[in-house]
Structure 1
Amino acid sequence: MLGDRARDLPAALLAFHRGECDAAYIGTVTVRQGNALVRLLCRLGDFPAPMTKRPMRMSIACGSKGERWNRDFDGHILSSTMRQVSPIQVAERFGPFEVHMCPSVMQAGLNMPVTGIRMFGVPLPRRLFRGSGGREAVDKDGQITFHVSSRVMGLGCVIDYNGTLMRASDTMSLRGGAQGDM
């Protein structure tokens, strides 16, 4: 989808987004949520509870209708489907929410601002979720770093999570082929 711009991504991000299906990633994650009302919204989307520097696993499975992103937040499973909806937009579905993003290559990474959200198929006004989106980069150790933030006007932070991921096979190589305790 990014075309020629994809060549400007760091190698780890390029491999992550090239759609190498059934690749597994491991790392750590910190999750924050807003107030009690917001936590009800998070339950609708099946988002994980707040946690700090907990183990995370992730895999991407390809199918005819897009990709299935499976995230294991220290035992809480969050699955979503990701598909391209236009030459410049992708949509990710979490339960009753469909989030539209417009990925762009930025210096040393990827920026994915939210351009639209539908809840139960109904589009929400754009002004409600200004400032929501995600960023990915690669740190000096070659780990993918990510930050995803969802904010709603009048409610503040809905969910905010960040952390690091590394391809599981790369971490096994670093450990001499030993299984990690994640």
Structure 2
Amino acid sequence: MTDRTATAPDIVTGAGTDDACCLFQRALGERFKDLPRSVRDLHTVKGESGWQGRARVTRGKSRIGALICRLVGFPEEAEDIPVSVTIERRGDMELWRRDFGGKMFASVLCLRNGEERGHITERFGAMAFDIDLQLADDRLQFPVARGRILGVSLPRALLPVSEAGEFEMDGRFHFDVQVSLPGIGMLVRYQGHLNPVRSDD
């Protein structure tokens, strides 16, 4: 999605935010310290942080899938493109802006129902998905548990399948995200690495 999916009315600053803990620290609790160092660093957001690197994007072959990708704003297929991610903390929420070779989409992340450990909600405009965070084999995984459009729950037959993982390789943050739909197959897969943007870069 473009930034229009995460405009100011979408983000409410929480007066009761615990400034000592970032979103993923609150979500994962004691498990946060078990994340690989680079993954932990990316999710330690006190104000605003930037990351940049390279990515490979693969699209599915379905025409319906291509239309869905276009509506959501997923990047076009590319073998090697620059990617940047900006994460901005706003109260109890985080605004993620992603730029794949000039193709931008954004989402808002928060704790599900405000206080549930291990569970976050990611919102793309009118679409919201509940994610049950898992840490396995030194990877942080993001399986989708439930979804809603305009507040209406999606039946499981229409629920996206997210095979998304964040991990460390050679001391560097890596991501591998594949999104599929039942009956349609893979929509998009993007893989790559990110490095922190230093203040003097």
The normalised TM-score by structure 2 is 0.78
What secondary structure, in the 3-state scheme, does the structure 2 residue paired with 1:43 have?
Answer: helix
Q: Which amino acid in 2 is paired with 1:21?
A: G
Shift of 1:63: 0.6
Give 5+ residue unaligned stretches, structure 2: 1-26
d(CA) in 2 for partners of 1:42 and 1:123? Answer: 21
Shift of 1:166: 1.1
Give 5+ residue unaligned stretches, structure 1: none
Q: How many residues align?
A: 171
2:37 matched residue in structure 1: 11
1:161 corresponds, among 161, 185, 190, to 190
- In the TM superposition, what are the counterparts of 1:14-29 in structure 2 within 5 Å? 14-29=40-55
Shift of 1:126: 2.5
Shifted more, 19-28 versus 121-130: the winner is 121-130
Shift of 1:64: 2.3
How big is the alpha-carbon RMSD for the aligned residues of Structure 1 and Structure 2?
A: 1.9
2:174 matched residue in structure 1: 145
Shift of 1:143: 1.4
Shift of 1:81: 0.6
2:134 matched residue in structure 1: 104
2:150 corresponds, among 120, 128, 136, to 120
Relative distance call for 1:114 and 1:133 in structure 2 (3 A) is farther
1:63 matched residue in structure 2: 90
Give CA-to-partner distance per residue, 1:96-148, whole Å, 9 cap, x none: 321221112222221111111223332222244474231010101x2111111
Q: Which amino acid in 1 is paired with 2:31?
A: R
Relative distance call for 1:158 and 1:119 in structure 2 (3 A) is farther
